[in-house]
Structure 1
Amino acid sequence: MRAIITEHRPDVAVLHLKGELDADSARELQTVLAELLKRPVPRIVVDLTALKFCDSVGLSAFITSKQVIADRGGWLSFAGPRPFMARLLETVGLGRYFAIFPEIDDAIAAGQL
């Protein structure tokens, strides 16, 4: 993965992922998520619009964070997946585990309900 840009909006962190998320780059994502999980109520939107590829190691970073997020009353949503990522998330069943939205603002609005 070439970059993770964290954008802090009121009460929500937006992670903009770019490039490929795989075994080589998942550690960087895990580090960023670990920092965000220190928040009292973690609310995270992961922008997938510029993510070209993701393997199982990359997906596991989100899955392992899910319990901590839920325990603290927070949420993690995905926004803007390309067709490859949308198919991947549905194929592995994460569409039932995480909310997936077409746009970042949609994910933020849904989380504030």
Structure 2
Amino acid sequence: MLATDTDHRTDVAVLHLRGELDSDTASQLHKLLADLLERPVPRIVVDLTDLKFCDSVGLSAFITCKQVIDARGGWLSFAGANPFLTQLMETVGLSRYFAIFPEVDDAIAAARI
């Protein structure tokens, strides 16, 4: 099961994902992202540290919210991906559209530059 929560640090929402992100849990992610996209300027860091698996259905949730984020002048980045997830994101081309950082604090710091 995918357990998620959000943590707001100043103007950045940190979304912590755990477990597996697949067709069974993607709807939960869609709901959380929809709530975060209601912010005037959505700035989201997705913490993948405890995410063990992700399939194409899970990845599509991030892709579908990108247009909304771009239109509002915000951004979405990833942090803490394990080697499997890093390779998966590079293989499907997400690394061209989303920044991937080693740690959540790195992603937040990069946003401040």
Match of 1:78 in 2: 78
In structure 2, how many angstroms separate the alpha carbons of the residues matched to 1:33 and 1:14? 11
Match of 1:33 in 2: 33
Normalized against structure 2, the TM-score is what? 0.98
**Corresponding residue SS for 1:41:** coil
In the alignment, residue 3 of structure 1 is paired with which amino acid?
Answer: A
In structure 2, how many angstroms separate the alpha carbons of the residues matched to 1:28 and 1:111? 26
In the alignment, residue 74 of structure 1 is paired with which amino acid?
Answer: G
**Corresponding residue SS for 1:18:** strand
In the alignment, residue 81 of structure 2 is paired with which amino acid?
Answer: P
**Corresponding residue SS for 2:39:** coil
In the alignment, residue 69 of structure 1 is paired with which amino acid?
Answer: I
For residues 28-75 of structure 1, the C-alpha deviation after alignment (integer angstroms, 9 at most, x for no partner) is 000000000000000000000100000101000000000100110100
Question: Does residue 101 of the first structure (1) align with residue 101 of the second (2)?
Answer: yes
**Corresponding residue SS for 2:57:** helix
In structure 2, how many angstroms separate the alpha carbons of the residues matched to 1:11 and 1:42? 8
Question: Does residue 45 of the first structure (1) align with residue 45 of the second (2)?
Answer: yes
**Corresponding residue SS for 2:44:** strand
Aligned length: 113
Match of 1:10 in 2: 10
Structure 2 unaligned regions, length at least 5: none
For residues 58-93 of structure 1, the C-alpha deviation after alignment (integer angstroms, 9 at most, x for no partner) is 000000000100110100000010011001000101
Question: Does residue 58 of the first structure (1) align with residue 62 of the second (2)?
Answer: no
**Corresponding residue SS for 1:63:** helix
Match of 1:110 in 2: 110
Question: Does residue 22 of the first structure (1) align with residue 41 of the second (2)?
Answer: no
In structure 1, how many angstroms separate the alpha carbons of the residues matched to 2:107 and 2:74? 13
CA RMSD of aligned residues (A): 0.7
